[in-house]
Amino acid sequence: MHAPMLILLLSSIAAADAAGIGVTYGRRATSLPPPADVARFLARGTVLDRVRLLNADPLALRAFAGMGLAVDVTVPNALVPRVADSVAFARQWVRDSVAPHAAAGTNVSRILVGRDVISQANRTLLLCLVPAMQNLHAALLATSLHRQIKVSAAHSLGVLAVSTPPSAARFREGYDAAVVKPLLAFLRATGAPFMVNAYPFYGLTSDAGLDFALFRVGAEGVTDAGTGLVYTNALDAQLDAVHSAMERLGFGDVDVVVAETGWPWAGEDWEVGAGADHAGDYNRNAIRHLGSGVGTPLMPNRTFEVSIFSLFDENLKPGPMSEHHFGLFHADMTPIYDAGILTAPESVGPVSSKVTPAAPAPVPDAGAADSGGRHWCVPTPAADAAVLQENIDFVCGGGMDCGPIRPGGRCYEPDTVQAHAAYAMNLYFRSNGQHAFDCDFGRTGVVTTVDPSFGSCNFT
């Protein structure tokens, strides 16, 4: 990288520093470096000042003690109902999972409740969100940590019923009064931000939208007919849609934080835009833009805190190839591509601009006589229950109909993670072409020719 370009990049990064640049530290992978090595690398080798954990793993929390980075921890979805039901359990969770690490020098800055709860089809979990946040805040008050640690939650754009144009955005019907307004009132009262996962990559349907998604100069602008404002990039439009929906409910003063954004450096051949060059462009430009002070058309003259997803590739996640390849770094902590966050960007070596797998082949027919040539996806016998719950969250949080495994549904009984995962994983498998990779789920799924349907629960 030439010196003038490096100076410009680092000055842009410095401007973003006021709002904060973070990274999501997911660990669903078979080979990752020890958390202590990761913490030292992030503190000494990058310009990042915060990290988001997708759980409250004590090993990771201990690793960040004394490193100076702000750390967000997450209450898993499976625990949210218990935290909501009992302030005593919330206090115990804070005493066990947060307070000791804060006392030992880990800069815990937020507790995030669940992951993408509002967008999921689980109404029971949904209605537990705000009570859980309230109980955790009370627990922080009891331990005098409430000034240091805020309570919030991260949401995908699935919380919106309408997102375009930004001025017309609104939250999903039925959720605005029951959940979103109490949530926003809680955030306003406690000074916590509304956190959104924004991914322009997922809005792409053809190469024609790449310039708009990647902040490229000369990209054709999009005019919001409701306001007359012109949008020159997709991320601004997504953030303003969230702001408009909040303002519609009377909470336009609540701060907005980009909890996750990113771009996959590899993907299936049908995934538009996946590639290392595009990933580098997007992440560098997003960091530069959000930290520039320009703001968005509806939220001008401000910076935004942003966290890039994700620190490493996660090969145990379900979904297509792109889901496994959002990483910024290899397991040896060498960069996959230049994202503009190293203290010495010149050290970045060349990488492939695109990894294109062979075209996926349908699952071969095993020819079982009782299956009629059909196939189903079920969990492997040794699959971990926590990973299966994440599979359920992934499928049911992606807009698929998981009503049959909700309370009262025809497949709710037996009420076990394994049974519910079998239904959800098979639903995903059958809805996405029934290819082998559609049943991989991080090596926790297996294709079978034996129909797993039982009673009134039909898997076909």
Which amino acid type is present at position 2?
H
Other Cβ atoms within 10 Å of 62 Cβ, number:
16
The dihedral over CA atoms of 187, 93, 30, 321, expressed in degrees to the nearest 10, equals -30
Given a contact cutoff of 8 angstroms between Cβ atoms, the answer to whether 309 and 24 are in contact is yes
The angle formed by the CA atoms of residues 198, 220 and 336, to the nearest 5 degrees, is 45
Secondary structure of residue 445 in the 3-state scheme:
strand
Which amino acid type is present at position 44?
R
Would residue 317 show up in a list of annotated catalytic residues for this protein? Answer: yes
Would residue 354 show up in a list of annotated catalytic residues for this protein? Answer: no
Helices (H), 317-410: 385-396
* Distance, first Cα to last Cα, the chain: 55
Q: Which of 268, 271, 305, 323 is catalytic?
A: 323
Given a contact cutoff of 8 angstroms between Cβ atoms, the answer to whether 196 and 258 are in contact is yes
CA distance 184 to 251: 7
Would residue 260 show up in a list of annotated catalytic residues for this protein? Answer: yes
Q: How many CA atoms lie within 13 A of 39 on its CB side?
A: 19
Looking at residue 73, what DSSP letter applies? E
The angle formed by the CA atoms of residues 415, 441 and 426, to the nearest 5 degrees, is 55
Secondary structure of residue 392 in the 3-state scheme:
helix
Q: Which of 260, 271, 305, 390 is catalytic?
A: 260
Secondary structure of residue 435 in the 3-state scheme:
strand
CA distance 326 to 324: 6
Q: Which of 150, 271, 317, 390 is catalytic?
A: 317
Secondary structure of residue 341 in the 3-state scheme:
coil
What stretches of 42-89 adopt beta strand conformation (E)?
Answer: 50-53, 70-75
For 448: left if phi > 0, alpha if psi spans -120 to 50, otherwise beta; the answer is beta
Looking at residue 317, what DSSP letter applies? S
Other Cβ atoms within 10 Å of 80 Cβ, number:
24
Would residue 220 show up in a list of annotated catalytic residues for this protein? Answer: no
Burial 11-28 (b: 16+ CB within 10 A, else e): ebbebbeebbbbbbbbbb
Nearest Cα to Cα of residue 202 among 284, 273, 290, 287: 273
Other Cβ atoms within 10 Å of 217 Cβ, number:
7
Q: How far is CA 334 from CA 67, 110, 151, 276, in A?
A: 20, 29, 33, 14
Q: Which of 268, 271, 305, 314 is catalytic?
A: 314
Catalytically active residues, by annotation? 260, 314, 317, 323
